[in-house]
Amino acid sequence: MPSKQRIKRPTLKRTAPDRRFSGAFRPPETGASPSPGTPNAKGEPKSTKKAGVPYEAVNGAYRLVDEYLRQGQKMAEELWLPQSNGGVPDVGKVVERFLRSAGDMGTAWFEMMNQWAAGPPEHVAPNGGAGPFAAGRRAAHASGANGAAAAGGLSTALSVSVESSRKFRITVDVFGAHSGTDVELVALKAADGSAALIDDIVAERDPTEGRITLAVRVPKGQPAAVYNGILVEKRTQRPRGTVSLVLE
Amino acid sequence: MSDAAHLVREVLHEYGGIAQRALSRYLEQAAENDSVYRLASDYPLRGGRALRASFCIAAARVFGAPVSDAVESAVSLELFHNAFLVRDDVEDESEERRGKPALHVLHGVPTAVNVGDALTVLGLRPLMHNRSILGPELAWRVLRETERMVRESVEGQALELKWRLENACELTDDDYLRMTLKKTCWYTTIYPSRVGALIGLRHGEDLDRFVRFGFFLGAAFQIQDDLLNLAGDHDRYGKELAGDLFEGKRTLMLLHVFRHSTPKERAWLRELLGKPRAEKTTGDVRLLLKKMKRCGSLEYAKQVAHALSGAAAHEFKMAYADVPDSIDRRFIEALPLWVLERL
């Protein structure tokens, strides 16, 4: 009786998942002839090689751009320049950026003061609330007691309402936020540190319109002062604006 | 025309018009003082789609910025773009641009080089005006992005010139894409998307997410441009047909035909590419084009362009994942398909 040859497992084409981008486009690896391409003159099906060539080009392109980005990151780390966002955020850099933004605001404030000295400024009629606010623009002032909701006319998504027994004026400045940004206002702090925090602030988001309303309730007996707070983007914890409430 | 192409055309018309009017003001103001700026107006006023300017504005609008915040950066980009065109035409010895003789053909190379410099200098002016519109910090960041964009473009052009000088023929597709990333993609698609996001978001975090999208989109755009040079409609294309073959420009098609040639054919091709433009005959160029078609080089490049366009569409979803729907978002989303359909 002839001895049987031991059946051996065939060598597999791969032993791990193929997660390359080209896999999204590559024709299925079956034993049958691939469908793309017409048969040649002899009626034989075209080889897969031609169909795979552009996908290899895309694969190569991905390798190229990923290597390019890695080199950029490496250079940024070596030079300690904020050219790339790879790695752990540097808190010192964040603070530095915020101070620069504050410096910009100071410059803008002086420029605005100069303009106002030259002539009457524009006003939006106050109605006790403030908002919605467009990213990058200074908000209209608003004043009153028991402030109502937004002054309309703008098309972005933040309103601030104030409930207060004292007369007040509120100014909101927003930067770096767009209609999808989720922001919060943690507390309003007296500029001279003399009074308690105003931290009864509730944020509500309208799921259909995407509008955020910040409802600020000023406690009874809260002293007259200027109270300031920072609008912070929830996702990144970066500053996206300021709120200044003057209680009279 | 597909819906995508229709939408892109409309947005290009709107934003391109805004950018063109703002650009004309800069040129008119400058031309009052010096004749070099009157010559500098030639290329910008010949028309063009203002794709880069429109993309810059849309990329800012998509993140909530008003048009006025992005116009200066868009105009600056158009001025740099025209400066690059003047320079490229001199370096490539091109004969036509936008349906008319190239600037150096009309006024000589020294004048054309000087006009290119004038356009570059003019390109800085809108960036300075950004300071009062965007604030000093953001204006500075836009300027840094601009420096990078110009540097990448210059380095990409240097690479292409080096290939021509050395008569480099055995280049890979990776080489071509690396050059295209620097020379074309940075200023056509990467910079507009990055600067638009910078202006819209007011911060520079996470701008690298636009590099992949911009690269694939720009590469598909460039390959399609190279194909149109060989097979497009002259009246709509605006440059001389097959001009790239006369110039010996290293395109995907040229690299492909070289790879698929016999040693004898490669020697012929190498000799042809080594000749100056004036010494290449129409017969040589026709023969080269015929060989490209026979080897399937045009078809190959077309397939690569389509694949890269698909990659761009995929990367769009990553880069603009958290952006709400708008005309501007749909415009950017339509670009990967439009670059293949445009004429």
How would you write chain A as a 3-class SS string? Answer: CCCCCCCCCCCCCCCCCCCCHHHHCCCCCCCCCCCCCCCCCCCCCCCHHHHHHHHHHHHHHHHHHHHHHHHHHHHHHHHCCCCCCCCCCCHHHHHHHHHHHHHHHHHHHHHHHHHHHHCCCCCCCCCCEECCCCCCCECCCEEECCCCCCCCCCCCCEEEEEECCCCEEEEEEECCCCCCCCEEECCEEECCCCCCCECCEEEEECCCCCCEEEEEECCCCCCCEEEEEEEEECCCCCEEEEEEEEEC
Q: Is the residue at A107 inside a domain? A: no
Spatial contact of A198 and A228, defined as CB atoms under 8 Å apart: no
> Taking CB atoms and an 8 Å limit, are B308 and A57 in contact across chains?
yes
**Of residues B214 and A43, which shows the higher confidence score?**
B214
Q: Do A166 and A236 fall into the same domain?
A: yes
- Does any domain span residue A131? yes
A132, A73: one domain: no
* Probe site for chain A from B304, B309, B317 (most A CB atoms < 10 A): B304
pLDDT computed for residue A35 by the predictor: 37
A152/A9: higher pLDDT: A9
pLDDT tens profile A72-107: 777 766 665 544 454 455 555 555 555 555 555 655
- Identify whether residues A76 and A137 lie together within a single domain: no
Q: Is B50 left (phi over 0), alpha (psi -120 to 50) or beta?
A: left
pTM above 0.80, yes or no: no
Residues A152, A238 share a domain:
yes
- Domains parsed from chain B with CATH numbers: 3-341 (1.10.600.10)
Chain B neighbors of A176, CB-CB under 8 A: 201-203
- Tell me, yes or no, whether A167 and A216 share the same domain: yes
Among residues A61, A87, A113, which one ends one of the domains? A87
- Domain for residue A7, yes or no? no
- Residue A60 has, within 13 A of its CA and on its CB side, a CA count of 17
B324: nearest CA in chain A? Answer: A180
Q: Which helix or strand (DSSP H or E) is residue B100 part of?
A: strand B100-101
Q: Is residue A16 part of a domain?
A: no
For an interface test with B, the pick among A26, A49, A58, A174 (most B C-beta atoms closer than 10 Å) comes out as A58
Q: State whether residue B97 is helix, strand or coil.
A: strand
For all residues of chain B together, what is the average pLDDT? 92
Query: What's residue A106's pLDDT?
Result: 55
Q: How many domains does chain A have?
A: 2
Distance of CA B107 to the CA centre of its chain: 24
Residue A46 — very low, low, confident or very high, per pLDDT cuts 50/70/90? very low
> Do A52 and A132 fall into the same domain?
no
B/e letters for B312-331, b = 16+ CB within 10 Å, e = fewer, are bbbbbeebbeebeeeebbbb
Tell me: the pLDDT tens digits for A11-42?
776 676 665 554 444 444 444 433 333 344 44
Q: Cβ distance A155 to A130 under 8 Å?
A: no
Please tell me which of the candidates B69, B181, B200 has its beta carbon nearest to residue A68. Answer: B181
Give the structural domain span for A58.
Answer: 47-87
Whether A165 and A238 share a structural domain: yes
Q: Which of B69, B131, B152, B173 to mutate to test the interface with A (most CBs of A within 10 A)?
A: B173
Report CA-CA distances (Å) from B315 to A50, B212, B219, B311, B334. 25, 7, 13, 6, 13
Say which of A24, A85, A136 has its CB closest to residue B206: A85
Give the distance from residue A140's alpha carbon to the nearest chain B alpha carbon, in angstroms: 18
Q: CB A238 to CB B206 under 8 A?
A: no
Last residue of a domain, one of A37, A69, A87: A87
Residues B208-249: pLDDT tens digits?
999 999 999 999 999 999 999 898 665 555 556 788 998 899
B231: how many CB neighbours lie within 10 A of its CB? 15
Is A241 a domain residue? yes
Last residue of a domain, one of A87, A115, A136: A87
Classify residue A33: in a domain, yes or no.
Answer: no
Q: Give the pLDDT score at A165.
A: 87
**Is A13 buried (19+), middle (13-18) or exposed (0-12) by CB count in 10 A?**
exposed
**What are the E-state strand segments in B117-179?**
none
Between chain A and chain B, how many beta carbons pairs sit less than 8 Å apart? 104
Are the Cβ atoms of B300 and A53 closer than 8 angstroms?
Answer: yes
CB-CB: which of A25, A135, A180 is closest to B65? A135
| Interchain pair B202, A135: CB under 8 A | yes
Nearest to A54 among B63, B203, B306 (CB): B306
CB contact under 8 A, B135 and A108: yes
**Inside any domain, residue A140:** yes
Same domain, A143 and A230: yes
Cα separation, B153 vs B185, in Å, equals: 8
Q: Tell me the per-residue pLDDT of B269-303, one tens digit each, with 9 for 90 and over.
A: 999 999 988 899 999 999 999 999 999 999 999 99
* pLDDT at A123 (0 to 100): 45
For residues A80 and A182, membership in a common domain is answered with: no
Q: A57 and A141 in one domain?
A: no
* CB-CB under 8 Å, B63 with A85: no
Q: What are phi and psi of B301, to 5 degrees?
A: -65, -35
Nearest to B307 among A55, A136, A238 (CB): A55
In a domain, A160, yes or no: yes
Tell me: do A199 and A133 sit in the same domain: yes
**Residue B180's closest chain A neighbor by CA?**
A61
Q: Give residue-wise pLDDT tens across range B93-130.
A: 888 888 899 999 999 999 999 999 999 999 999 999 99
